[in-house]
């Protein structure tokens, strides 16, 4: 009989877990919708900004024979110092979302270390910070709370500090790693070179536009301002992208958990029924054998 009670208790607990995971799934899907909308709106802005940067870079390349002569567009073959920024979630329970980013970051670190490149890590999100702290790897920057609620001002402040260290020559390259949103069921780890601006990605030699006038007259003022904005926005957009991916990953994980719980309840029910049947059979046998012996 004790067994019966235990199974019943187990069924209750699994059912409760199922309720929780189901609720979390619903919350995530609602949040995902909101974040997706935000991402959609800022995507237009990001696209236009890149387009504009593209065109100015193109113009500069046309006027300079040796290519673009600007600190933000340097072409560094062998960087000596690299900053890696990676974005993870503050919370877990979202499948492999965080571990994927961490894995990619680790791979990058190893690659750079193998080439004798100094790596500095800057972490956004509690999960990534916890992981590297646990493994005794030093982090240069830690930000908690930004990945759960992307804020343009905060993101801009964070990235401009790093961009400044790039301008000062403290670092040769800035790489941003995050897990991005593809659609409701897929996420993809993205790796972006923030600075120097990756000229190979800009379609430099596509449409050669007509003569471009620039105001204020000296190119650098405009370009500096534009690159700064571009970097800030890349950071902000990555945060939004990461958040959308987090919600979709959590939605999936919770959906799977709910399904598994359902399956488990089913199995436990069968077990319970079997145990009950067994106890009834035993009781019957006892009664019958008692009667037989009385004859």
Partner 1 sequence: MELMKLEIITPNGVIFDGDVTQVNLPGSEGEFGVLAGHSTLVSLLDTGVIVYNRADGREVAVAINSGYVKVDEGKTTCIVDGAVALSGEDTHIAQAIEKAKKLLKSTQASSASIASAVSKVEKIGKSF
For 92, phi then psi, to 5°, come to -95, -145
Residues 6+ apart with CB under 8 A from 279: 1, 4
63 vs 289, beta carbon nearer partner 1:
63
The count of residues interacting with partner 1 (CB under 8 A) is 26
CB atoms within 10 A of CB 103: 12
- DSSP three-state, residue 173: strand
Nearest-angstrom CA–CA distance, 194 and 83: 10
Instruction: For strands 173-183 and 186-195, give the pairing.
Output: antiparallel
Question: Contacts with partner 1 in 78-107 (CB under 8 A)?
Answer: none
- DSSP three-state, residue 123: strand
Site string for partner 1, 44-83 (x = CB under 8 A): xx--xx--x--xx---------------------------
43 vs 133, beta carbon nearer partner 1:
43
30 vs 214, beta carbon nearer partner 1:
214
- Minimum CB separation of residue 178 from partner 1 in Å reads 18
Question: Contacts with partner 1 in 197-256 (CB under 8 A)?
Answer: 209-217, 221-222, 225-226, 229, 233, 236
33 vs 48, beta carbon nearer partner 1:
48
Identify which of 213, 236, 239 has the alpha carbon closest to the alpha carbon of residue 56. Answer: 213
Residues found near partner 1 in the complex (CB under 8 A) = 41-42, 44-45, 48-49, 52, 55-56, 152, 209-217, 221-222, 225-226, 229, 233, 236
């Amino acid at each position: 009989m004790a067994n019966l009670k235990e199974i019943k208790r187990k069924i209750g607990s699994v059912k409760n877990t199922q309720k929780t995971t189901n609720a979390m799934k619903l919350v995530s899907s609602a949040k995902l919708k909101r974040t997706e909308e935000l991402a959609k709106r800022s995507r237009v802005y990001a696209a236009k900004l890149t387009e504009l940067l593209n065109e100015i870079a193109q113009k500069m390349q046309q006027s300079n024979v040796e290519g673009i002569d600007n600190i933000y567009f340097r072409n560094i073959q062998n960087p000596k110092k690299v900053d890696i920024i990676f974005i993870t979630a503050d919370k877990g329970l979202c499948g492999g979302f965080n571990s994927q980013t961490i894995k990619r970051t680790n791979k990058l670190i190893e690659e750079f270390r193998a080439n004798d490149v100094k790596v500095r890590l800057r972490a956004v999100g509690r999960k990534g910070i916890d992981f590297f702290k646990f493994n005794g790897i030093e982090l240069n920057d830690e930000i908690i709370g930004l990945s759960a609620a992307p804020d343009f001002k905060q993101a801009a402040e964070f990235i401009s500090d790093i961009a400044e260290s790039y301008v000062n020559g403290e670092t040769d390259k800035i790489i941003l790693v995050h897990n991005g949103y593809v659609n409701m069921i897929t996420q993809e780890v993205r790796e972006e070179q923030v600075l120097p601006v990756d000229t190979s990605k800009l379609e430099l030699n596509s449409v050669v536009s007509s003569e471009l006038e620039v105001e204020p007259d000296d190119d650098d003022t405009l370009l500096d301002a534009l690159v700064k904005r571009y970097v800030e926005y890349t950071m902000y957009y990555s945060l939004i992208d990461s958040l959308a991916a987090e919600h979709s990953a959590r939605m999936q994980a919770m959906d799977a958990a709910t399904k598994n719980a359902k399956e488990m309840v089913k199995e436990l029910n069968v077990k319970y029924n079997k145990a009950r049947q067994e106890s009834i059979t035993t009781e019957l046998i006892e009664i019958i054998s008692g009667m037989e012996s009385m004859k």
